[in-house]
A and B are shown apart, each in its own frame.
Chain A
Amino acid sequence: MSDAIYARLRALLGTSGVDRDANGVARASPESSDALSLVCRLAHEESWKIRVEGRGTWLPPDAPADLVVSTRALEQILSVSPADLVATVQAGASLEALRRRLADYGMWLAIDPPGRPDRSIGSVIATATAGPLRHGYGPVRDHVLGCTVATGDGRLVNAGGRVVKNVAGYDLTKLQVGGFGGFGIIADVHLRLRALPRADVTLVARGARDVLTAAGRELMSAHLLPSALELLSPALAAEADWVLAARFVGTDAAVQADVRRLGSVGEQLWQPLPPDRTAAFWSVAARGSLGGPITLRLGVLGDGIDETIDLLSHDLDEGLVSAGAGLGMIRWTGDAPVEQLRALRRAAAAREIPMTLERAPWAVRRAIGHFGAYREGVGRIVGRLRDTFDPGQCLSVALEGVDHA
């Protein structure tokens, strides 16, 4: 079977666009959205299961499939318009390459997702994995103006557009951001940019967790406007204590004003990170999410952080925890058996806290799904949307897990 698929893909894409992954499964790396669409159409016609892969740095490459579709050859930065603050980028472009290219234009994409710097932009969008900058710049979806996706049966859908304000038609982009590839494969995206900030200062406070969460609340009520306000567990920060990091990004005037005021807020001792250590500090925190096989996020509001981290520590372990101390959202990385994850999701749901599995081996994804059980009525809608965008169920993805299929 695999040889036959390999041969069919080579006939379609030529020899350079097809190889085999580590398990010997045929892997197609189309170089254009049209080629991507052809591969999907073929898979649909033949009822082949597709495992979607970006640059291979986030989800383990273990979903069962007849072929792999990789976006690694879709890595071009198609356009950057500094005057309009918009860039169009193919899904397989790495964040690092994008960051460098944008910096050449004095531009910046204000997202700092967990994982490696060479993660693909498509992976970040498909999993909606926002980092600490979510506090000041919003979740991943706020940065995506539009996208082109190939559906599971090879149709190309252009959602949204290249302008920052646009309500023409339904907002199909929202379905793709955080859809974990269940509604198609992202081929390219239009991104909202910002001017590269003139000032970027991070200050940290160290101490007991509850003291730091209180400091975070105090900071929020003092009209300070940090771009990130992140609480890091000792293991994640590689320090002896918990760390609360406040990052101020913007014009010199605004950042200086905030930093000055921070000194007068509360009892907490804030220490500025030396400029040469700032990037390394945040990159260590981002990479920390790869420190265990499983990463999950819990949707929780700022004042529920302590209680929810207690819940995590009780049901799993303290692990590598990163939490938005202002607006909420907790990310946990570690290892745990499926039963414990299930129990945590139940306990979280009882507190009205959604738990999303961001990264895990297939056995775990298959068991509990990225999302697990939906609320009443939602499963029916999601199921029909899946049928619409992947009528042959070619995309090998476990949105709900077997418990709830």
Chain B
Amino acid sequence: MNDSLIDALARIVGRKWVRHRGADLATYAMDGLPTHESVPGVVIMPGSPAEVREIVRLLHLIQVPFVARGAGTGLSGGALAESDAVLITLTRLNRILRVDPIQRRAVVQPGVVNARLSEAVAPLGLQYVPDPSSQAACTVGGNVAENAGGPHCLKYGVTTNHIVSLEVVLPDGSVTRLGSDQGEAWGPDLVGLFVGSEGMFGIATEITVRLEQNPESVRTMLADFMTVRAASEAVSAIIATGIVPAALEMMDKACVAAVEASIYAAGYPTDAAAVLLVELDGQTDAVGAEAITVRDILLECGAREVRSASTAVDRARLWQGRKKAFGAMGRIAPDLAVQDAVVPRSALPDIMDRIEAIRRHHNLIISNVFHAGDGNLHPNISFDRRDTAVAARVQLACREIMAACVAAGGSITGEHGVGSDKLDYMPWIFDAQTLGAMRAVRRVFDPSERSNPGKVYPVHACREWHAVKSARR
């Protein structure tokens, strides 16, 4: 990156907030996914929305690409920048600007850490629902870019269901407000379009979120099964009753083994083929009655034991293994390829068999933890990327798992995004016409394709949508 650009950036934010030396840049060469690496040209850390605007304006003027980044916990290589691009880190924009307990709204900057927002509003009896596993570190801005999910999205929806308005800096440096605090759009639903656009439409500098009232009562239940199929059937049977649990999470034997061997041991039965966590929330009497129904279903479907917890401490113990599953897998090997795919829920047992076959074929260690309620799988492959032969098998296995999920009528990502990791899979689920439409929409926001270039759609697969000259303007 040339010195004059570095100087110009330093004039905006101050020299201490610009990194351009090798060792400093290495920190930003990866996100949470160890299979992709790219060193940015320069890293800049603005301290205010005004600085973000100035940076983006400058980069527009000289037509330099940029990538916005939150805490770097993403799992799709989505916040990686090439050496010709400026990485704009938004973690200093970490203020909760306003909380309105009556309207149940909070206005935050993009660098606010997800869990901090819920902590901040907890005394008001409110919560910000989307709770990705990385919530202790990931930022709301990153959640907006990826349309992040989490265990409690089964009942309450993913990030897009909780964002009502956005102030965004478009790639040409102009600032626009999308949506309204009321949640009713001023025109087409551009907030819905922006959320999940993986940083390719611009940078959200102010985010207004919907808060939810904390439920009066919460019951967490843990059941263990001798087969994944039996556990999956229990999931379907629960949902068929009309009960919508707040969360329905499953862990397979390998995942339970990893958890129980770690400092996060939660007392899960290690001989079970699957452990199912069911959380019910709502009015106290209703939760009590529904818990009885759920318990009966779990036992009818073959659960060996059903444990139940209502107090915060006891519930946290049941959840501990699930929440720390990824951390526990860190013990197994230095690297963890966390994958993300979705299948129709009824396909869960078959897809688990298929993943096991793929695991055996490639001789890998795969632990499965998944949001069973909505068919969102996370097969996690433990490996050492210094062993290039193993790393190659990991890539192959990931590809085969994705292909199996697509063949089952699913999707290549449920909550982690496409990023750089899944570019190749996009043509498996979208035809050239649709990929072309995505590219054309991106160019509406970013005609020169400088904002997070090279992500989401593989350019070669897009049928080009030449903007036909219209009578307008």
Contacts and interface: CB of A to CB of B under 8 A. Distances in A.
Given A81-B344, A167-B146, A171-B192, A393 B472 contact: yes
Interface string A77-90: 00001111110000
B153 interface: yes
Contact of A167 (B175, B413, B430): B413
B374 A169 contact: no
A223 B342 CA distance: 33
Given A168-B426, A175-B188, A387-B472, A197 B242 contact: yes
B157 A155 contact: no
A271 interface: no
B411 A161 contact: yes
A172 B438 contact: yes
A291 interface: no
B346 A81 contact: yes
A388 B467 contact: yes
Interface residues of A, number: 89
A166 B411 contact: yes
A1 interface: no
A391 B440 CA distance: 12
Contacts of B175: 377
Interface in A187-210: 194-198
Given A163-B344, A254-B283, A377-B174, A138 B160 contact: no
A163 B409 contact: yes
A251 interface: yes
B181 A196 contact: no
Interface stretch (B233-241, B261-269, B318-326): B233-241
A353 B182 contact: yes
Nearest to A300: B182
Interface string B128-169: 000000000000000000110100010001101100000000
B330 to A, nearest CB: 25
B242 A165 contact: no
B176 A251 contact: no
Interface in A111-134: 128
A311 interface: no
B184 A297 contact: yes
Instruction: With a 10 A CB-CB cut-off, give which of A165, A252, A261, A352 has the most chain B CB atoms.
Output: A165
B456 interface: yes
Contacts of B103: 301-303
Interface in B416-457: 416-418, 422, 426, 429-431, 433-438, 440-442, 444-445, 456-457
B177 A375 contact: yes
B286 A251 contact: yes
A72 interface: no
Contact of B186 (A86, A303, A354): A354
A404 to B, nearest CB: 11
A198 B286 contact: no
B240 to A, nearest CB: 6
B410 interface: yes
Contacts of A178: 185, 188-189
B245 to A, nearest CB: 12
B213 interface: yes
Contacts of B418: 167-169
Contacts of A86: 344
Interface residues of B, number: 96
B183 interface: yes
A385 interface: yes
B456 A253 contact: no
B307 to A, nearest CB: 21
Instruction: With a 10 A CB-CB cut-off, give which of A156, A375, A381 has the most chain B CB atoms.
Output: A381
A253 B472 contact: no
A142 B435 CA distance: 23
Contact of B456 (A82, A169, A352, A393): A169
B290 A254 contact: yes
A288 interface: no
Interface string A138-181: 11011000000001010111110111111111111011011100
A258 interface: yes
B211 to A, nearest CB: 12
B184 A399 contact: no
A391 B467 contact: yes
B293 interface: yes
B371 interface: yes
B176 A383 contact: no
B344 A84 contact: yes
A382 B187 contact: yes
Contact of A164 (B147, B374, B416, B457): B374
Nearest to A258: B283
Contacts of A171: 147, 160, 192-193, 195-197
Contact of A166 (B177, B282, B414, B433): B414
Given A84-B345, A177-B189, A253-B290, 19 more contacts: A86-B344, A141-B189, A165-B158, A165-B376, A171-B196, A178-B189, A225-B283, A250-B243, A251-B241, A251-B286, A252-B289, A254-B290, A257-B286, A299-B182, A371-B187, A378-B177, A388-B441, A388-B444, A393-B472
18 contacts: A84-B346, A157-B433, A159-B434, A163-B414, A168-B422, A172-B437, A172-B441, A174-B189, A251-B290, A253-B285, A352-B182, A354-B187, A378-B177, A381-B190, A381-B444, A382-B187, A388-B441, A388-B444
Interface of B: 102-103, 146-147, 149, 153, 157-158, 160-161, 170, 174-178, 180-190, 192-193, 195-197, 213, 215-216, 236, 239-244, 282-286, 288-290, 293, 342-346, 371, 374-376, 409-418, 422, 426, 429-431, 433-438, 440-442, 444-445, 456-457, 465, 467-473
